[in-house]
Amino acid sequence: MMRHLVVALLVVLVPSLIGPVASAQDATPTTTGEAGGGDRTDVRYVLPFGPDGLNRGLTATTEEEGICSYPSSAALDRPDAWDCTGAEGQIYDPCFENPFIAPDEPGQVACFDSPFTTDVVVLTLTEPLVRQKEAPDAGMGMAQLADVSIDPWDLPWAVELANGDRCTLLGGTLTVVAGQTAHYGCEDGGVVFGEVNHVRPLWTVNYLAEGDAASTLVDVVAAWS
């Protein structure tokens, strides 16, 4: 009788000790409202390649030759992310290298417009990648333009917000309004001003919806690198 009681207690306790388990294919948790709607931000990494090549679920819309000469200015947290140029001079950023390519074979990268699409451009490299490079710092991308030092997670590649909008880091010339830089453009027409506040487990951003007269503080459900 005592043995049966111990087994029953273990069945009850084990799930609560392990906690929720998520896979790479799990959808982003659904949340509603603005700041204060969840426990912590879900940090995610894009991994386009496996041992057998491009991962299932991704579609190579274009395959061409190219070169990757600079670290990515979009995925600042990734040492395997690059700013690349295609055969026709098209700029792609970020492009993530294939770690399963043999050293004596041409390198390969998959380039994304955002983490919210399954379409990629695959480049076969005509020049080897520079394997040794410095960690992201003020000498890279937008940080260099602003002449400030940032932590890579101050500006993740993309964010999904608790209000349902999804925003991707902008490149090129950035807009400054009320002394704040619009770092992200969002699918619903909104923008994110300033950097991501990731001091607490649940990150927040200063979000201005299209047509609104004032920005609001909104939770970051997921951040992508």
> Do 120 and 140 fall within a single domain?
no
What's the one-letter identity of residue 43? V
Q: Taking Cα atoms as reference points, which of 15, 44, 48 lies closest to residue 27?
A: 44
Of 104, 125, 146, the position where a domain reaches its end is 125
What are the CB-based long-range contacts (under 8 Å, 24+) for 89-92? 92/66, 92/121, 92/123
Domain assignment of residue 218, given as a range: 136-224
> Do 55 and 76 fall within a single domain?
yes
Token pair 């609104």 is at which residue? 212
Rg of the chain on CA atoms, in Å:
21
Q: What is the DSSP letter of 139?
A: T
Is the residue at 78 inside a domain? Answer: yes
Per-residue pLDDT of the chain (225 residues; tens, 9 = 90+): 333 333 333 333 333 322 332 223 333 333 334 444 469 999 999 999 999 999 999 999 999 999 999 999 999 989 999 999 999 999 999 999 999 999 889 999 999 999 999 999 999 999 998 764 444 443 344 444 444 556 778 999 999 999 999 999 998 888 998 889 999 999 999 999 999 999 999 999 999 999 999 999 999 999 999
Contact, 190 vs 207, CB < 8 A? Answer: yes
Of 125, 158, 183, the position where a domain reaches its end is 125
Contacts of residue 224, defined as CB under 8 A and 6 or more positions apart, other chains included, come to 44, 45, 46, 115, 156, 157, 158, 159, 160
> Do 110 and 148 fall within a single domain?
no
